[in-house]
Amino acid sequence: MANVTVIGAQWGDEGKGKIVDWLASRADAVVRFQGGHNAGHTLVVGNQTYKLSLLPSGIVRGTPSFIGNGVVLDPWHFRDEIEKLRGQGVDITPDNLRLAENCPLILPFHRDLDGLREDASEFKIGTTRRGIGPAYEDKVGRRAIRVCDLAHLDDLGPQIDRLCAHHDAVRAGFGEAPIDRERLLSDLTEIAPSVLPFARPVWSELNKAVKRGDRVLFEGAQGMLLDVDHGTYPFVTSSNTVSGAAASGSGLGPRATGFVLGIVKAYTTRVGAGPFPTELEDEIGQRLGERGHEFGTVTGRQRRCGWFDAVLVRQSCAVSGISGIALTKIDVLDRMDTVKICTGYRLGDQVLDYFPSHAADQAAVVPIYEEMPGWNESTEGARSWADLPAQAIKYIQRVQELIETPVALVSTSPEREDTILVRDPFED
């Protein structure tokens, strides 16, 4: 039986939450391995809608859930999201939610710095202003405060010295006061009891689970095109979102990642700034946004919409070693006269079958489209191939041909059970 790693294969917002929730019924553990509470995963179960940004989506089903060391954790948001879900009837305890004790913390001055940087420059990255990037900077700068430090606050002086030596100088450059050390220690003392009961050596527990033969589901956040190495730099997130990050961000070796399932929307969306070759700034783009309810779960920002870009997704599949895709939101394309797929780019007198690395080239490419007839029937709620219109099936088949990766699942609505299983990732 294979483990499964779920990642976004576009710019995020592909519908990972629903797919992870659906797969969680087949899993023994669900693991978040990168990012922070800048992720936005929406689950619809009957009449109840759950919005998660930090906790693994498996927690809604009660599947044992883990936050790995590759995540950066805002402890106050952690507490508040737990309480919010408990208020919706979700049972969350240290028995079904475990937090890596070596997970770095997002602290108030990280949020401050995130906002100061965005406001100080006309060149906007489009961050969520939640402190994700500055927290990762402190991690690699070896000055982060981690979950395990909350149990040793009396010994934290030297680490706070390192933090302040860096951040006070940066804050002074923005005209901000130094970090209030006493306030920081007071805040950490206050939040520690809400966090420490969940702290565990997650790497050890997951290794034991794998040795038992448990099925582990790794839940990625954001999307491959936002990867700090392979994405549309500098308009990217601050972590590696590719499948390989599941190994380092959980404490399991690379063999544990198993079947890599790329989540792919049947069209393309992007939140915030950055290149977007197939963006539609017309009535069709507006229609896609309205029908797809394209607003960010975390930020509430309206998503930019465009046609499906097979070049980008093929690149994502190659870089992340994607075994199969879950195609989501096919129903948003219902009753369109024609649909288009980007099959290549023109850059000057060149034709490219990949997305170039330089920002100027990324902004200059012109998409080459293949046009297909649409379908006048509804795909919403379909749960088998027989329920799909013939032209919708042709569209799906053409997508998998162009991205050189098979379709494993098709999602036809936000509802948990409106899913067509073509190839079970856990049985591969």
What integer pLDDT is reported at residue 273 of this predicted model? 85
The pLDDT > 90 percentage for the chain reads: 80
User: What is the pLDDT of the chain when averaged over all its residues?
Assistant: 93
What integer pLDDT is reported at residue 371 of this predicted model? 98
pLDDT beyond 60 at 1: no
What integer pLDDT is reported at residue 225 of this predicted model? 95
pLDDT beyond 70 at 279: yes
What integer pLDDT is reported at residue 299 of this predicted model? 62
Q: What is the pLDDT averaged over residues 119-141?
A: 85
- Considering only 21-30, 180-189, 358-367, which range has the smallest mean pLDDT? 21-30
For the whole model, what pTM was predicted? 0.92
pLDDT beyond 90 at 88: yes
Query: Tokens representing 163?
Result: 């933090």
What integer pLDDT is reported at residue 227 of this predicted model? 96
Query: Tokens representing 241?
Result: 């979102």
Q: Specify which residues 407 forms β-bridges with.
A: 325
What integer pLDDT is reported at residue 293 of this predicted model? 87
Q: What is the pLDDT averaged over residues 335-343?
A: 97
pLDDT beyond 90 at 43: no
Q: How far apart are CA 233 and CA 337, in angstroms?
A: 35
Q: How far apart are CA 282 and CA 133, in angstroms?
A: 33
**Which residues are identified as catalytic?**
13, 41
- Considering only 23-32, 332-341, 363-372, which range has the smallest mean pLDDT? 23-32
- The 3-class SS string of the chain reads CCCEEEEECCCCCCCHHHHHHHHHCCCCEEEECCECCCCCEEEEECCEEEEECCCCHHHHCCCCEEECCCECECHHHHHHHHHHHHHCCCCCCCCCEEEECCCEECCHHHHHHHHHHHHHCCCCCCCCCCCHHHHHHHHHCCCCCEHHHHHCHHHCHHHHHHHHHHHHHHHHHCCCCCCCHHHHHHHHHHHHHHHHHHEECHHHHHHHHHHHCCCEEEECCCCHHHCCCCCCCCCCCCCCCCCCHHHHCCCCCHHHHCEEEEEEECCEEECCCCCCCCECCCHHHHHHHHHCCCECCCCCCECEEECEEHHHHHHHHHHHCCCEEEEECHHHHCCCCEEEEEEEEEECCEEECCCCCCHHHHHHCEEEEEEEECCCCCCCCCCCHHHCCHHHHHHHHHHHHHHCCCEEEEECCCECCCEEECCCHHHC
Q: CA distances (Å), 102 to each of 45, 52, 150, 156, in order?
A: 33, 22, 11, 15
pLDDT beyond 60 at 276: yes
pLDDT beyond 90 at 120: no
- Considering only 92-101, 284-293, 306-315, which range has the smallest mean pLDDT? 284-293
pLDDT beyond 60 at 205: yes
What integer pLDDT is reported at residue 283 of this predicted model? 94
pLDDT beyond 90 at 127: no
Question: In the structure, what pLDDT confidence band is assigned to residue 272 with cuts at 50, 70 and 90?
Answer: confident
What integer pLDDT is reported at residue 300 of this predicted model? 67
Question: In the structure, what pLDDT confidence band is assigned to residue 47 with cuts at 50, 70 and 90?
Answer: confident
pLDDT beyond 80 at 296: no
Q: How far apart are CA 32 and CA 58, in angstroms?
A: 10
pLDDT tens digits for 391-401? 999 999 999 99
What integer pLDDT is reported at residue 124 of this predicted model? 67
What integer pLDDT is reported at residue 215 of this predicted model? 95
pLDDT beyond 60 at 119: yes
Question: In the structure, what pLDDT confidence band is assigned to residue 79 with cuts at 50, 70 and 90?
Answer: very high
pLDDT beyond 70 at 297: no
